[in-house]
Amino acid sequence: MAFKFIAILLLEIITFATLVWGENGLAIKSIQSEDGDVIDCIDIFKQPALYHPALKNHKIQMTPSYNTMVETTKTNDQEKSYKCVTTQIWHKSGSCPKGTIPIRRTQNIKKDQIKKPNHFHLDKGLKIKKDIKLTQKNHSVNPRVYGDRQTRLFTYWTNDGSRETGCFDLTCPGFVQTSHEIALGAAIYPISTQNGLPYSISVFIFKDLNTSNWWLQYGGSINIGYWPSKIFEGGLGIHAQTVQWGGEVYSKNVGKHPHTKTQMGSGAFPIYISANTGFMKNMRILDNSMELRFPQYVDAYSQEYDCYKTQYMGDYIEEPEFHFGGPGRNPLCP
């Protein structure tokens, strides 16, 4: 369950829509993945983002204005301890041509299935409130949205705590994708297992100072796309206010009695020495000097500490790490 994550930012989106690209004839090419997904290759100029009312006549920015590819230096011990996940299962079955973007085909699902539920457990100090503006990039297991228990790479945004706005991946206009390699919402592999080799993902969100667009980078080399500055009303139109790292669990029984048995990470409480659950490494923010720095103020927090725990290791090791996870219901969390 190991991965590297630079992820949560404040974002504003205006409209909501469900777009089923493969079924309305927009796909240039369709790929049947061995895991059951269908990936449709859509003309980049006919993608969902361009249906956003604020992006009428929007000119797609194909690449960032400057090179911000994230490069991290790993010691020999680190190289042995984890590997980077840089592929998705559908890649085994084909690829989308340049000039298109891959979109995971969705069924006609209800709006409340696309929206983020109101009872996510956020193991990083953020509580979903009715007026919160949120952007998220991570990997997750979410049967309600995707119909299975595969680990998937996803994005999510809302501007009102998911009351009326918000969606996963490209299921509503907003995010402009430029990469033909990564399909948001598609399953990733390999993934970590308890007592097995841990794997990691590098994710980076940064602001293009020339356009004010917020770019999403994956694996230290692939610019997936960006959230255009035109969909912001203040907030990220100027700068980010909050960056958070962590895990989350959704269940109707979070905070209730009996508590959910849904696990976070491997299901174990974090123990730094054994590295037995989810963790973050190389946590950085990009400041106005265009240098990646470790945040000056960092705090670890868990909403339900007896059910899911956090462990921040910043004072005793050279490179700070954040570990998190838990089993949910247990003798301390009945």
- Tens of pLDDT along the chain (334 residues) come to 333 333 333 222 222 233 444 544 589 999 999 999 999 999 999 999 998 888 989 999 999 998 766 544 444 444 444 555 568 999 999 999 999 999 999 866 444 444 433 333 333 322 223 344 455 656 667 787 787 888 889 888 766 556 666 688 898 888 999 999 999 999 998 887 777 777 788 888 888 889 989 899 988 889 999 988 887 766 677 777 788 888 888 788 888 889 999 999 889 999 887 778 888 888 988 877 778 888 888 888 898 999 999 999 887 788 899 999 999 999 999 9
Q: What angle do CA 21, 27, 31 make, to 5 degrees?
A: 100
Tell me which residue of 202, 221, 218, 245 sits closest to 84, measured CA to CA. 202
- Residue listed under structure tokens 């960092």: 298
> Quick check: 98 and 180 in contact, CB under 8 A?
yes
What DSSP character marks residue 328? S
Between CA 129 and CA 70 the distance in angstroms is 32
Instruction: Bin 28: left if φ > 0, else alpha if -120 < ψ < 50, else beta.
Output: alpha
pLDDT of res. 260: 93
SS (H, E, C) 245-286: CCCEEECCCCCCCCCCCCCECCCCCCCCCCCCCEEECCCCEE
Give the predicted TM-score (pTM) of the model. Answer: 0.79
Parallel/antiparallel/unpaired status of strands 222-227 and 214-218? antiparallel
Q: Domain spans of the chain?
A: 22-237
